[in-house]
Amino acid sequence: MAGINLNRITLNSTGVFMLQRLNHLFTVLLILIGLSLLIFMTNADLDLVRLVALPNHQWPGMTQQPWPMIYRLAPIPGLLLGCAALIIFAAGYLFSSVKKYRREALFIVLFLALGPGLIVNVVLKNHLGRPRPQELAEFGGQYQFVQFWQRGTAGGNSSFPSGHAAIAFSLMAPWFFLHRKKPRPARLFLYAGILFGLLVGVGRIMQGAHFPSDILWAGGLVYLIGATLSCFFQFDRCSQDHDG
């Protein structure tokens, strides 16, 4: 009987855990949809890039620092994070002192591969075909503006979402497994990822390469993928079990 009751308790705790995570994901998705509606209703995508564009269809971010430098630096922190995670994951098979970090290292590798890698740059950017601001007829290009949910005709490596912003936002990766055990460092990673992603996103808008909604969904998708992946790794669940 005791065994049956224990199984029921385990099942109930698993259900509560999954419900909490689903509520969190749904809340984040609602925020993204709400901000997207605000961008749509205010025509912020076009109005903001019109403010940025210079006469003769020039974009200040292409030549004026610090935007070219930020563009070049954008992928580096995320790539360094991924390389460090790969080294730790491999070293965990050789050194017992590193073995306990293998799970977190695997999470970071999968997070980068699925988020900025597969979902953003392969599935979405290569298939949605949203023209970039610099490709619009209004700014000397050949395409008409389309909303981010509409399929465009610009082909691969399109505007939605921003790949550079996505890899910059990925600095938040440690947040997903640290926020219960070490909340202060976790918040630092979360804030650093958000701020760096926004900075890179502003730079890409200044370069005529992206719209605000491209940046919003780059960050939103990266966060949603990280939160979903953390459900499978059950970092929150492990932390709760350990605290109990």
- Token couple for 144: 């008409």
Q: Over the stretch 73-105, which tens digit does the pLDDT of each residue have?
A: 999 999 999 999 999 999 998 888 889 899 999
Tokens 């981010």 belong to residue = 148
Half-sphere exposure of 96 (CA within 13 A, CB side): 0
Question: Is 41's pLDDT higher than 70?
Answer: yes
Domain that holds residue 179: 2-243
Cβ atoms of 231 and 21 closer than 8 Å? yes
Residue 220 to residue 135: CA distance in whole angstroms: 25
Q: Over the stretch 14-23, which tens digit does the pLDDT of each residue have?
A: 666 677 778 8
Mean pLDDT score across all residues of the chain:
89
Residue 177 to residue 186: CA distance in whole angstroms: 8
Least confident window among 3-7, 21-25, 48-52: 3-7
* Cβ atoms within 10 Å of 60's Cβ, excluding its own: 13
pTM over 0.85: yes
Count of domains in the chain? 1
Question: Is 13's pLDDT higher than 80?
Answer: no
